[in-house]
């Protein structure tokens, strides 16, 4: 234990001696957690709409006003011909064209049906799909609104009316920040832990101090633990700072017990720190360590469920996510923070993460070549 104690003292002194490392560890993740969720917004607003109105009736004006007041659309062009409206899409000034045919109001009142045409600029596929969906829902609501005014219920046998009430569990206001901020925190912790530990042993190689350690009677597992424990403690400190920002910056109050998150994060940090140490045992330079870490982390993050739901991925990709530790941590932190899940709900995640930790750290210890 005395050997490990001296190694830990050495590592902490080396970390706190370099002010740039402290800024990277504490300030950079905090700023990223503040900025990234504001940019990674799942809500699509300010969709530019061009309208070709051939009817110019009261009903069309009410419908256009309803679309504008929704908060999702911005009317950039109002014309009488489709060609003029479509020009705004070609010049990239509009995202959607809504064409209202002649006799639109007359068809609704007399013939009980009318048609509309929607043309969508699908260069940005997500914005196109969401914009078209928003527009169709608004038009459908407007259709139901005007038809409700026409219904005359018989005095004896009223017409059957089915009312559907919708309740959103775990995120009642459907705020993307509640879904995004915990996942971003998990991702930042992954990046920080992997990069710092991946560069740690490599730095010893480059400055030559690794040779001095190799000729000492320090055991390999002592050396790996000495590199792992300091960043494990600092990782939990960064997680605490992230939770403070989440609570006071975004007003996200976790539903579940945060001790469960800390328990899982303690195990998860052993995984990503072990991965970083494993990379550092293979790399000879810091540049090699950075490139290998970047390659692996890009795959882990993209397959982790941060931006895209894992359920919407192809089947063979979903099977790959079983080998992705990031997906387990993102899932757990969302379950506890938003849903209030307990240990019984995440026990399978815990067992998998323990397996990852044993495998990666054992590999790192065995692969570290120490010559006495």
Hey, how many other C-beta atoms are within 10 angstroms of the C-beta on 4?
A: 16
Which residue bears the tokens 């002592």? 222
Give the span between the Cα atoms of 104 and 107, in whole angstroms: 5
CATH number for the domain that contains residue 75: 3.40.1710.10
Domain containing residue 87? 47-150
> Tokens representing 150?
């026409």
**Cα 31 from Cα 20, distance rounded (Å):** 15
- Domain co-membership, 202 together with 256: yes
- C-alpha distances (whole Å) from 223 to each of 6, 218, 228, 365 are 11, 7, 9, 9
Beta bridge partners of 99: 52, 117
Q: Look at residue 3 and tell me if it is in a domain.
A: no
Q: Which residues contact 85 (CB under 8 A, 6 or more apart)?
A: 50, 51, 52, 77, 79, 94, 97, 99
Q: Is residue 372 part of a domain?
A: no
Is residue 185 a part of any domain in this protein? yes
Q: Is residue 93 part of a domain?
A: yes
Work out the burial of residue 117: count CB atoms within 10 Å of its CB; fewer than 13 is exposed, 13-18 middle, 19 or more buried. Answer: exposed
Is residue 126 located within the same domain as residue 191? Answer: no
Q: Are residues 221 and 342 in the same domain?
A: yes
Does residue 146 share a domain with residue 32?
no
Query: Do 342 and 194 sit in the same domain of this protein?
Result: yes
- The reply to whether 188 falls in a domain is yes
Is 290 within 8 Å of 198 (Cβ atoms)? yes
* 1 within some domain: no
Could you give the C-alpha distances from 98 to 286, 355, 362, in angstroms and in order?
A: 55, 55, 62
pLDDT tens for the chain, 372 residues long, are 678 888 888 888 888 887 788 888 888 899 999 998 887 776 777 889 999 999 988 889 999 999 999 888 999 999 888 888 888 888 888 889 999 999 888 888 787 788 899 999 888 777 778 888 899 999 988 888 877 666 554 555 555 555 667 777 888 877 888 889 999 999 999 999 999 888 888 888 887 777 777 777 778 788 888 888 999 999 999 999 999 999 999 999 999 999 999 999 999 999 999 999 899 889 888 889 999 999 999 999 999 988 888 888 899 999 999 999 999 999 999 999 999 999 999 999 999 999 999 999 999 888 877 654
CB neighbour class for 349 (10 Å; exposed up to 12, middle 13-18, buried from 19)? buried
Question: Does residue 33 sit in the same domain as residue 116?
Answer: no
* Final residue of a structural domain among 87, 117, 150: 150
What is the greatest pairwise CA distance in the chain?
A: 99
Q: Whole-angstrom Cα distance, residue 185 to residue 84?
A: 47
Question: Does a structural domain hold residue 2?
Answer: no
Helix, strand, coil percent values for the chain (each to nearest 5): 70, 5, 25
Of 106, 134, 150, which residue is a domain's last? 150
Give the Cα separation of 203 and 277 in Å (integer): 12
Q: Residue 220 domain-assigned?
A: yes
The last residue of one of the domains, among 150, 184, 211, is: 150
Q: At what angle do helices 258-282 and 347-367 cross, to 10 degrees?
A: 20
Beta-sheet strand order (sheet of 47-53): 73-79, 47-53, 96-100, 117-120
Same domain, 21 and 94: no
The structural domain count of the chain equals 2
CB 296 within 8 A of CB 195: no
Q: Is 100 helix (H, G, I), strand (E, B) or coil?
A: strand
Q: Does one domain contain both 323 and 195?
A: yes
Residues 325 and 301 in one domain: yes
Pair (20, 55) in one structural domain: no
In this structure, the answer to whether residues 252 and 349 fall within a common structural domain is yes
> Looking at the structure, do residues 24 and 116 belong to the same domain, yes or no?
no
149: which 2 tokens? 């005014």
């Amino acid at each position: 234990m005395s050997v490990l104690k001296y190694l830990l003292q050495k590592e902490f002194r080396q970390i706190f001696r370099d002010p740039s490392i402290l800024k990277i560890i504490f300030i950079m993740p905090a700023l990223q957690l503040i900025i990234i969720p504001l940019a990674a917004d799942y809500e699509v607003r300010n969709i530019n709409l061009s309208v070709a109105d051939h009817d110019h009736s009261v009903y069309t004006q009410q419908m256009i006003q309803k679309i504008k007041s929704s908060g999702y659309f911005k009317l950039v062009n109002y014309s009488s011909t489709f060609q003029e409206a479509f020009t705004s899409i070609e010049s990239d000034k509009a995202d959607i064209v809504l064409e209202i045919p002649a006799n639109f109001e007359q068809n609704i009142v007399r013939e009980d049906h009318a048609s509309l045409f929607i043309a969508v600029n699908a260069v940005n596929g997500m914005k196109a799909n969401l914009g078209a969906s928003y527009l169709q829902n608004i038009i459908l609501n407007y259709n139901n609104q005007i038809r409700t005014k026409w219904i005359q219920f018989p005095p004896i046998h009223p017409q059957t009316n089915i009312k559907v009430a919708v309740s959103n569990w775990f995120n009642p206001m459907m705020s993307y920040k509640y879904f995004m901020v915990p996942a971003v925190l998990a991702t930042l912790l992954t990046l920080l832990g992997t990069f710092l530990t991946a560069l740690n042993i490599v730095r010893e190689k480059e400055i030559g101090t690794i040779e001095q350690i190799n000729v000492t009677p320090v055991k390999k597992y002592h050396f790996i633990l000495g590199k792992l424990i300091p960043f494990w403690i600092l990782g939990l400190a960064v997680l605490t700072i992230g939770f403070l920002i989440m609570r006071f910056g975004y007003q996200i109050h976790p539903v579940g017990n945060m001790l469960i998150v800390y328990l899982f994060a303690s195990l998860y940090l052993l995984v990503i720190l072990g991965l970083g140490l494993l990379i550092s045992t293979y790399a000879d330079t810091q540049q090699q360590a950075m490139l290998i870490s970047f390659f692996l982390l890009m795959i882990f993050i993209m397959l982790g469920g941060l931006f895209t739901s894992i359920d919407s991925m192809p089947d063979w990709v979903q099977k790959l996510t079983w080998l992705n530790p990031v997906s387990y941590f993102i899932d757990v932190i969302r379950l506890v923070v938003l849903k209030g899940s307990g240990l019984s709900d995440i026990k399978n995640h815990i067992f998998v993460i323990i397996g990852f930790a044993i495998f990666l750290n054992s590999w790192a210890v065995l692969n570290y070549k120490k010559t006495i």
